[in-house]
Amino acid sequence: MCLRLNICFSFQTLKAVKCPTDELSLTNCAVISDKEQHVTVYNGKGEFVFTLKKHPEVSSGSIAFSLPQVPDPPLQFDKSKDCISVMTMEIDFLQKKFIDSSPFDSDKMASELVQHFDNQAFTVGQQLVFSFADKLFSLVVKEIEAMDAGILKGERQIGLLLANSQVIFEKSENSAVVLIGKSKTREARQSIISPDWNFEKMGIGGLDKEFSDIFRRAFASRVFPPDIIEQMGCKHVKGILLFGPPGCGKTLMARQIGKMLKAREPKIVNGPEILNKYVGESEANIRKLFADAEEEQKRLGANSGLHIIIFDEIDAICKQRGSMAGSTGVHDTVVNQLLSKIDGVEQLNNILVIGMTNRPDLIDEALLRPGRLEVKMEIGKTFWSPIMLSRTFYFERIPGKFSIEEISLISQRQIMNFLVKSSVILHVNSIRVILYSQKSNSLIVYFSVGTPQAFGTNQEDYASYIMNGIVRWGHPVSEVLEDGELLVQQTKNSDRTPLVSVLLEGPANSGKTALAAKISEDSEFPFIKICSPDKMIGFSETAKCQAIKKIFEDAYKSQLSCVVVDDIERLLDYVPIGPRFSNLVLQALLVLLKKPPPKGRKLLIIGTTSRKDVLQEMEMLDAFSTTIHIPNISGGEQLVRALELLDSFQEKERSAIANKVKGQTLWIGIKKLLMLIEMAAQMDPNNRVDKFLSLLTEEGG
């Protein structure tokens, strides 16, 4: 039966009133005192079809709605062709104060809605209230697909919802409803990669491999639409730990990651800034960092943008809980607060926490488990050589020159905009820059500091070990250097022997330390460190072990490293009376000498000793790959050759010395020879040859 309802119903004026009960307001029906039928309602925004129900509390001449609307004509539906095939509805919470961040199953919601509103008519743009899981939702019909497309023609799109109709939910703009399941539309996909991103402009050259690994492990899942990730049951990586020695580019990389991603402006905070002397303020500072991400996730759900929080020096606030005896426990509560925010009960899925430290061993292990800072990336030292052509600086990645922070310092200051002149020496924060003219308007720039003092050995260290250069007084010296070069090439090129160790043994004063320093310097390895007893004077056994261990751990951070363990018997505190030595240091050295470096790293160890017999008794010789003997000068020809190379005495004096020592058997180290030469040089020129020969005889030569 069709009735025309506009302002009047059966020629009778109807008054719009409120539904008599809350239950009826959720039925999406217009309520009258007459029999049940369908009616078209006009409310100034459009025309909608409602099903009529009767209720004794509705007075005659009134029509009740859940929302105030004005009626128009009733309709009859043909269920064979006027039914709804697919209906898309916008959803939001009815009242903002009752927002719930829990996910709602769209499949169950659609099933309940179809059952609740079975055999009711719906119109595009129609509003209704729906109760699900004890929550009230506001629904708006956005689109209808009917079995008969003809009913969708014209101004009105109307259909009858039946048991086999499909309902799809779509979040309204700024809705905080979190939907899961298949009965929801795919939200607009946000590309995580900034469209104008350019790797070459990021300024982190030399860290290509590290950056690639971070992207593959931490960002790959964020490239795909949220729906696909949800269906696969995958979870995004929420945390990255970048660790490595100071100045290796950790902070720089973290900042550039924020620029590469289409994310909110990264929040960068130094670890110590979190701590506050007032009770509870440190934890409040942590909560403030995550507040924006929490609010956006409640509002936008899976479509929330990525929030990046960068903790520099994270070890300052995330030390092992319970490790600080006698403290107030502030560090422990800060760690607990951070853990709960990253992966707690109300965990966030729109955050990426990047922690940076050079002491990963201090961080609480709970922070490093999967789901938190699960991607751990070591950022090693990157060494470069700068070249300047036509006043333009270029930097090439080759072994043995400069780390990335030193290049940043120089390039930012542009060498103080100096005027280019031949052989100019500048001082820039203690880094000396020497410019040599090569061709017209073409220059090469060298830095006198080869590697940072805090990381490797600087040139001043080499100067003390090779003060007078290497005196090639005979084949033994040349053979040692040639063998050393072979070992360097083996370390560089062989994948089967990432650890190569050699022991230079010989009598005292034979120049073992100088030869070891020369081999390591000529290797041009990025990391070179000399472990010498003179740097550990007064150390306890434990402190000495820690210092030696630290040198080797630093060496493992570079792709190519060389460690010189000088004067091993002195490191062991060996004395022949007893005999007596440090077994703790001995065991530490035995372990470190045999321990291979991490995968992809190579290490050359050069040891020196004057007591091969002692090391043999200590079973240390087997820890070295090979042993090279360094002899003393043992013949007159070798002595004269050394005097010539050192430019000592005049030619007539050297001839006189040669005649005296001809055919004699000598046995003197090159260091001792240098001392005798300098002592004789202080004498009167008429007597210095005799004095030198006298001293040589006294030394057993």
Check 209, 594, 595, 662 and give the catalytic one: 594
Q: What is the CATH number of the domain that holds 667?
A: 1.10.8.60
Q: pLDDT confidence of 275, banded at 50, 70, 90?
A: confident
Q: Which amino acid is at 670?
A: I
Residue 647 domain-assigned? Answer: yes
Place of tokens 């853990």: 339
Burial pattern 630-656, b for ≥16 Cβ within 10 A else e, equals bebbebbebbbbbbeebebbeeebbeb
Place of tokens 């040089």: 681
* pLDDT tens for each residue of 159-179: 888 888 889 998 887 787 888
pLDDT value at position 77? 64
Q: Is 513 a catalytic residue?
A: yes
Residue 159 tokens read as 């259909």
For residues 222 and 362, membership in a common domain is answered with yes
Q: Which residues contact 423 (CB under 8 A, 6 or more apart)?
A: 434, 435, 436, 437
* Domain boundary pick from 378, 397, 415: 378
CA distance readout (Å), 54 to 23, 59, 116, 429: 13, 10, 17, 90
Q: What is the CATH number of the domain that holds 264?
A: 3.40.50.300
Q: Is 512 a catalytic residue?
A: yes
Residue 14 domain-assigned? Answer: yes
d(CA 640, CA 470): 16
CA distance readout (Å), 666 to 119, 212, 662, 671, 675: 116, 61, 10, 14, 16
Whether the full predicted model's pTM is greater than 0.75, yes or no, is: no
Cα 680–Cα 684–Cα 686 angle in degrees, nearest 5: 100
* pLDDT tens for each residue of 216-256: 777 777 766 666 666 666 778 888 898 887 777 777 777 77
Q: Which amino acid is at 427?
A: H
Enclosing domain of residue 248: 199-321+328-378
Lowest mean pLDDT among 110-114, 200-204, 360-364, 369-373: 200-204
For residues 176 and 206, membership in a common domain is answered with no
Lowest mean pLDDT among 212-221, 379-388, 466-475: 379-388
pLDDT value at position 431? 34
Between 25 and 75, where is the model more confident? 25
Q: pLDDT confidence of 479, banded at 50, 70, 90?
A: very high
Place of tokens 């956006």: 296
Our count of domains for the chain comes to 5
pLDDT value at position 456? 55
Residue 434 domain-assigned? Answer: no
Q: Which residues contact 658 (CB under 8 A, 6 or more apart)?
A: 636, 640
Check 566, 608, 609, 672 and give the catalytic one: 566
Residue 313 domain-assigned? Answer: yes
For residues 125 and 246, membership in a common domain is answered with no
For residues 503 and 608, membership in a common domain is answered with yes
For residues 353 and 225, membership in a common domain is answered with yes
Let me know: does 549 contact 588? Beta carbons within 8 Å.
yes
For residues 137 and 255, membership in a common domain is answered with no
At residue 356, φ and ψ (nearest 5 deg) are -130, 135
Percent of the residues in the chain that have a pLDDT greater than 70, as a whole number:
71
Residue 191 domain-assigned? Answer: no
**What DSSP line would sit under 533-562, residue for residue?**
GGGSTT--HHHHHHHHHHHHHHHTTSSEEE
* pLDDT tens for each residue of 62-82: 777 664 344 444 556 666 667
For residues 627 and 639, membership in a common domain is answered with no
Sign of the dihedral defined by the CA atoms of residues 342, 343, 349, 353, in that order: positive
Check 250, 512, 518, 529 and give the catalytic one: 512
Check 343, 461, 554, 567 and give the catalytic one: 567
* Domain boundary pick from 336, 363, 378: 378
For residues 621 and 650, membership in a common domain is answered with no
Alpha helices in 134-270, H assignment, sequence order? 208-214, 220-223, 226-232, 250-260
Q: Is 315 a catalytic residue?
A: no
Alpha helices in 323-392, H assignment, sequence order? 330-343
For residues 603 and 696, membership in a common domain is answered with no
For residues 238 and 271, membership in a common domain is answered with yes
Lowest mean pLDDT among 328-337, 452-461, 635-644: 452-461
For residues 504 and 464, membership in a common domain is answered with yes
Q: Is 594 a catalytic residue?
A: yes
The answer, yes or no, to whether the previous bond of 579 is cis (omega within 30 of 0) is yes
pLDDT value at position 338? 86
* pLDDT tens for each residue of 286-310: 889 888 888 887 776 666 778 888 8
Instruction: Judge whether residue 636 has pLDDT over 50.
Output: yes
Check 27, 40, 88, 513 and give the catalytic one: 513
* pLDDT tens for each residue of 36-48: 455 665 554 556 6
Residue 422 domain-assigned? Answer: no
Judged by DSSP in three states, 345 sits in coil
Residue 418 domain-assigned? Answer: no
Q: Is 671 a catalytic residue?
A: yes
Residue 30 domain-assigned? Answer: yes
For residues 228 and 353, membership in a common domain is answered with yes
Q: What is the CATH number of the domain that holds 176?
A: 3.10.330.10
Residue 189 tokens read as 């996909």
User: Inter-axis angle of helices 688-698 and 651-661, to 10 degrees?
Assistant: 40
d(CA 76, CA 121): 10
